[in-house]
Amino acid sequence: MDIRADICVIRFAELSTKGKNKKDFVKLLRKNLIEAMRQFDGVKVVGSFDRIYVHLNGADDSVVLPRLQQIFGISTISLAVKVSQDMDQMREVAIALMKREAKTTFKVVTRRADKTFPLVTDQINRAIGEAILMNTDHTVDVHNPRIKVLIEIRPGEVYITVNTVQGAHGFPAGIQGKALLLLSGGIDSPVAAHLSNKRGIELECIHFQSPPYTSQAALSKVLGLARKLTAGQSEIRIHIINFTDLQLQINHFIPESYRITIMRRMMIRIADELAKKRKCKALITGECVGQVASQTLDSLQVISDVAILPILRPLVMFDKNDIIAIAEKISTYEISIRPYEDCCTVFTPVNPVTRPAIYKAEFYEKAFDFSPFVIECVEKSETIFVKYNEKRAEDTLF
């Protein structure tokens, strides 16, 4: 019997704990899934209160399944065959699916959502299990089976699966609102973006460049990172800030030891203004306590002092090796380590202050009128849209 999985059963992650708000979470997750599935011809997403079903309609499950595993808000995904509430058909399909598997151990697990079905859970488990034992070489292991044959009895239908994989978990991207991420070309900020998406935050990005001191290759590197991040949300808007004039003013008027501190304060001011225009609820950075001079507790306090919106720092207590491990997992690490300098590294002072004081930063900033530069940076920002799977000219650089 030629049986092929024709549907993916999507089970929710933390959505199940959301009570009265659950419908909003399910609605957004379904929307995100529809957007992610647009690349596959014929695939249809159908929602219900406690499940979402992705009908493959002939699409290759080996390609669709990995894409589904990138969507936040999903607990598990099962490749399933839909049958009627008929025990003979259920046995037949379960046997056919297990005959495709190499000899191993299994256990039948039934979830009986439709309590009108005439057999109870234990009876279904025994009937399907005995059919598999009699018609295949598999053996039962109720404690540590390699394969769980899942039988879901739902009103008017049954789903049978032998392949269940983990989803990305977390919340659907966007359920918490929108925030503006300060995206550099380094390792940390893309990881911060990934973790923010996982907590349900939709992202827009701001990137600071200083031409001619930074190259087009550095910008292309950032766009390459953003494209990797579209696995979490299918499209990302990046605001490119020309930071050169303001950075030159900082280098001219500010003592060397305080230049990084003042530069970061200016970046936060610009990001804050742009975030308010874009209706973002927070700023997000990839900062980690103690990693560099501008990320000591004293520095973070001085830099944060100019912000109006809250600053979220998902990596604030992470070890660098843990950050790298996530970067490798989400495929941003190899891009991040490519040797194209951003505006922070180009103008790095020899001996930056590690314990700056707010009163000193404010005193040094009085040396020139920075407000027009901040306004100009915001008003003349360039916006680039990066979409999932979209090929652009800069891809040739990678």
Q: What is the pLDDT of residues 208-226, one digit of tens each?
A: 999 988 888 999 999 999 9
Residue 163 has a pLDDT of: 81
pLDDT beyond 70 at 133 = yes
Name the pLDDT band for 89 (thresholds 50, 70, 90). very high
The fold for domain 178-397 equals: Rossmann fold (3.40.50)
The answer to whether 270 and 206 have CB atoms below 8 angstroms apart is yes
- The full DSSP string for 187-221 is SHHHHHHHHHHHBT-EEEEEEEE-TTTS-HHHHHH
The SS3 of residue 171 is strand
Name the pLDDT band for 19 (thresholds 50, 70, 90). low
- The H or E element that residue 54 is part of is strand 52-55
**Sign of the torsion angle spanned by Cα atoms 187, 64, 46, 91:** negative
In whole angstroms, give the CA distance from residue 27 to residue 172. Answer: 10
The answer to whether 114 and 121 have CB atoms below 8 angstroms apart is no
Residue 397 has a pLDDT of: 41
In whole angstroms, give the CA distance from residue 264 to residue 268. Answer: 6
In whole angstroms, give the CA distance from residue 149 to residue 158. Answer: 13
Residue 344 has a pLDDT of: 62
In whole angstroms, give the CA distance from residue 99 to residue 108. Answer: 15
Q: CA distances (Å), 304 to each of 246, 253, 285, 297, 314, in order?
A: 19, 21, 11, 10, 15
pLDDT tens-digit readout, 103-112:
999 999 999 9
More confident residue, 21 or 223: 223
In whole angstroms, give the CA distance from residue 228 to residue 196. Answer: 14
Residue 391 has a pLDDT of: 65
User: CB atoms < 10 A from the CB of 391, how many?
Assistant: 9
CATH for 7-166, options being 3.40.50.1220, 3.40.50.150, 3.90.1150.30, 3.30.2130.30: 3.30.2130.30
Domain locations in the chain as residue ranges: 7-166, 178-397
pLDDT beyond 70 at 350 = yes
pLDDT beyond 90 at 92 = yes
Name the pLDDT band for 398 (thresholds 50, 70, 90). very low
**Phi and psi dihedrals of 160, rounded to 5?**
-120, 130
The conformation of residue 370, written as its DSSP 8-state character, comes to -
